[in-house]
Structure 1
Amino acid sequence: FVAGQLVVDTGSPQRNATTEYVGNITTVSATLETGGITHALVFGSEFSKETVTNRRYAFPEFVENEAGNQIGTPSGFTRALFDPDPVLGFRIPASLDTSATPAVTRVESWSLFAIDTIKFSPKLELLLGGRFDTFEITSTGEGRGGPYSASANFDFFNGQASLLYKPVEAMSLYASYATSSNPSGEQLDSSSPTYGGLVGVESLEPERNKAYEIGAKWEVADGHLLLTAAAFRIDKTNARENLGGGVYANVGKQRSEGFELGFNGNITPRWSIYGGYTWLDATVEASEANPDSEGRRFANVPKHSFSLLTSYALTDQFTLGAQAFYRSRIFGGTAEANDNSVPGYWKFDAVARYRVTDGFEVRANVMNIFDKRYYDAIYRSGSPFSYVAPGRSATLSVSFTM
């Protein structure tokens, strides 16, 4: 608090990031029949190359303030949290620091994949698929300990299989199994292994995931409304853990399991709804680095979440809509949750649309109608912090299509 006001310290941008990306996906499809069984085949390849370059900004030692006096360049400013002044009052020139070594991260990946959808009858289908990836990453730059260079190369194969059965035309029952991999360094905007960045000391294997799901889909209201239900489990092995002293190893196990209910479509020709409920239990199953975390929930993962979006066309031109969203309490931490938490919340939005002509529409939105104060997440750091989510806001937009 300063002078009875709640204030916040703000900083200035410290780096400039540029991203270059080249990618290509090529697919070939074919359909054939063997003994009365139909095969829908898809073969493909994927290539991508991405380079992220981070450069630091350089600031002068002294600047001239609004009174014309020379002052030391401030590194941050204090502003009233609920009535901030966006105008600084004087200029602080900034330029890219050409004397500093930029941090450059490059990722190149190649993939081959194949999918076969086998239709035994109008009621029964089987999908089989496989994908091979090669993933190479290099990272160079200069840190507090001096110049650094790290690289890693991974090859991995993943597959999927699912069975679909339609007891009646309007209902589908399915079961699926799939694997996936998370290589070290897949998050290019992060230099921390905790956030998926590259581990520069050890050559760690990719994290491995196995996903199981069973569910049902049911079309009601003459096919205008789709109801869905699913139960799922995802097991992660080879989870990366910090053993201390900057040493990482593939020694963790994690599990996410739960169920979700959903609905999407029209109750009447003028009334549409979309939404669902999810119950999610995400826990640490095993941890060599921190056995006390076993059984704890994941950080920033709510157990309950619910959303409902509905709209009603009062006339052929005028539509009103509303949205409700709920999320239960979440805990902070790194991988596992600790005792810090932010409360759950309800948030409500509204929208009104008026179609002037077939290609001309006016839309008004009000977000967070009741100006609920809530928090998106607890961010991982030595001093955990959280951002206040946006309060009530309104927008008016016009769209025109030819």
Structure 2
Amino acid sequence: GTLINQESYTVDASYSRPFRLGSTVNEWIVGADYNYANTDYDQARARSLGTVHYTDFDSISYVDLMGSAKAGLAGFTFTPSETTLKEAGLYTKFVMRPTDYFTVIIGGRLGRYEIESGSGVDNDSRSDTKFTGYGGVVLDLDEQNSLYASYSALYRPQESLGVDNKLLKLRHGSQVELGYKGAFYNDALNVRFSLYRMRDENAAASIPGNSAQFSALGKRVMQGVEFEVSGQITDRWRMHAGYSYLDSDIEVGSTVRDDGIFLLMPRHTFNLWSTYDVTPELVVGAGINAMTSIESSNGVRGPGHATIDAMVSYQVTDRLKVQLNVDNLANRKYYTRVGSFNTFNIPGKERTAKANISYRF
């Protein structure tokens, strides 16, 4: 078992000032931030609590795993660890409009981080100064249609420990995106389309059979397409649909070891949701979420699936509204994550119903 206690806070101060560039109004922002996070991990294990037949589950006596481990009882082990992250940064952002229909956004952040992690016996620390930048352009074709392009870089200090009990290297990467946004029929129909490519290096992946240690994945590349459409089909009927295609791969393996588990996301996902006003007070809705198979990096596969959700709401008065939502209406069995043949396999939610009563004062 694991007990996690976390304390964190963030301070952010910024100043913005508009300025004119020709006939357009532009904006400049400058700021500073500070982030602090302290996390205590208490891990308790038992060498053996015996075996029991599944028919006797109701008669199993309660065992205080954490309490027994902290007390140092025979057969139990207690491993405390603590991670502290301190990060400070300076950032700036320019929003420039050379013309009324063309916008340029440029920004960056210079950050300094210090991270320390350990159990009191094996300790490790890292610190560094990094700059990340981003930029984008938006071209308004008209009042309702626009094209955009963007680039952003990222970095993230990692709290995970490797097999050598040392902190994993800094996680860093970048993302490029091209897209289109449009509205038609007086905003009754909205469309969004995007192409993207992400590069992610040194992401932490769990090592099978060892929940306390991780492996850096090396360089992972993900690229795909997203398409969304939503609109008002009639005065009573509304609809939203989305589709995405994702291709992910590891271009360069880890320099430490390559048996860490990470989840390969489904190549194809699709969702559809629709609501209909039966009366001004009564609304019914239904939708479907579907995806193709998922797979872990060591070859364990979870089959594709589709789940159906439904809802009904009734406006009792101007202030009182009642609503019922049912997720996974057909009670479909599926996995949201797969790992190895005996670990990190997480089943999806079974059929659930949630009733809600809201009153506006």
Q: TM-score range by the shorter chain?
A: 0.7 to 0.9
Counterpart of 1:49 in structure 2 is 36
Partner of 1:300: 264
For the 8 Å contact 2:44–2:79, the answer to whether it is kept is: no
Q: How many residues align?
A: 347
SS in 1 for 2:338: strand
Question: What residue number does 1:154 align with?
Answer: 128
Q: 1:103 aligns with which of 73, 78, 81?
A: 81
Q: Which amino acid is the alignment partner of residue 49 of structure 1?
A: Y
Tell whether the 8 Å contact from 2:327 to 2:353 is kept in structure 1 after alignment: yes
Partners of 2:272 and 2:205 in 1: how far apart? 38
State the superposition RMSD in angstroms: 3.4
Q: In 2 relative to 1, CA 24–79 (structure 1 residues): closer, same or farther, beyond 3 Å?
A: farther
Once the 2 structures are TM-superposed, how far is the Cα of residue 258 of structure 1 from its aligned partner? 1.1
Residues 330 and 159 of structure 1, relative CA distance in 2, 3 Å threshold: same
Alignment-mate amino acid for residue 344 of structure 1: G
Cα distance between partner residues in 2 of 1:78 and 1:397? 40
What is the rounded CA distance, in whole Å, between the counterparts of 2:258 and 2:50 in structure 1? 40
TM alignment of 1:230-249, pairs within 5 A: 230-237=194-201
Match of 1:16 in 2: 3
State the partner residue of 1:312.
276
Whichever residue aligns with residue 109 of structure 1, its letter is E
Q: How big is the shift at 1:218? A: 0.6
What's the counterpart of residue 64 of structure 1? none
Tell me if 1:112 matches 2:87.
no
Are 1:332 and 2:290 an aligned pair?
Answer: no
Deviation, 1:75, is 6.8
Measure the CA separation in 2 of the matches of 1:28 and 1:217. Answer: 30
Find the partner of 1:221 among 185, 200, 205.
Answer: 185
- The alpha carbon displacement at 1:364 in A equals 0.9
Aligned to 1:28: 15
Cα shift at 1:76: 7.6
Q: Would the alpha carbon gap of residues 269 and 133 (structure 1) be closer, same or farther in structure 2, given more than 3 Å must change? A: farther
Shift of residue 213 of structure 1?
1.1
Query: Once the two structures are aligned, what percentage of the paired residues are identical?
Result: 23
Kindly indicate whether residue 287 of structure 2 is the aligned counterpart of residue 350 of structure 1.
no
Is this contact kept in 2: 1:38–1:120, CA < 8 A?
Answer: no
Q: Counterpart in 2 of 1:269?
A: 235
Aligned to 1:375, which of 310, 335, 342?
335
Q: TM-score, normalised by structure 1?
A: 0.76
Decide whether aligned partners of structure 1 residues 340 and 37 sit closer, same or farther in structure 2, where only a CA change above 3 A counts: same
Aligned to 2:325: 365
Is there any run of 5+ residues in structure 1 with no aligned partner, and where? 1-13, 60-72, 186-190
Q: Which runs of 5+ in 2 are unaligned?
A: 73-77, 207-212
Q: Which amino acid aligns with 1:201?
A: K
Contact 1:151/1:200 (8 A) holds in 2: no
In structure 2, do the counterparts of structure 1 residues 89 and 241 end up closer, same or farther at CA, with 3 Å as the change threshold?
closer
Quick one: which amino acid aligns to residue 280 of structure 1? L
Please report the TM-score for the alignment, with normalisation by the length of structure 2: 0.84
Note the 1:142-221 alignment, pairs <5 A. Answer: 147-185=121-159, 191-193=160-162, 200-201=165-166, 204=169, 206-221=170-185
**For residue 6 of structure 1, what is the aligned residue in structure 2?**
none
Q: CA offset at residue 400 of structure 1?
A: 2.1
Using the alignment, how far apart are the partners of 2:358 and 2:51 within structure 1?
40
Q: 1:122 aligns with which of 100, 103, 117?
A: 100
**How far did residue 223 of structure 1 move?**
1.2
Q: Supply the distance in 2 between the matched residues of 1:218 and 1:132 (Cα, whole angstroms).
A: 35
Q: What residue in structure 1 maps to residue 27 of structure 2?
A: 40
Which residue number corresponds to residue 355 of structure 2? Answer: 396
- For each residue in 1:81-127, what CA deviation from the matched residue of structure 2 results, as whole angstroms up to 9, or x when unmatched? xxx97x65755456642665631111111122211111122211111
Deviation at 1:307, TM superposition (A): 1.0
CA gap 1:224/1:193 in 2 versus in 1, 3 angstroms: farther
Q: Is the 8 A contact 1:183 1:207 kept in 2?
A: yes
Answer whether contact 1:152 1:203 (CA < 8 A) is retained: no
- State the alpha-carbon separation in 1 of the partners of residues 28 and 277 from structure 2: 42
Call closer, same or farther: CA 1:39–1:16 in 2, change over 3 Å.
same
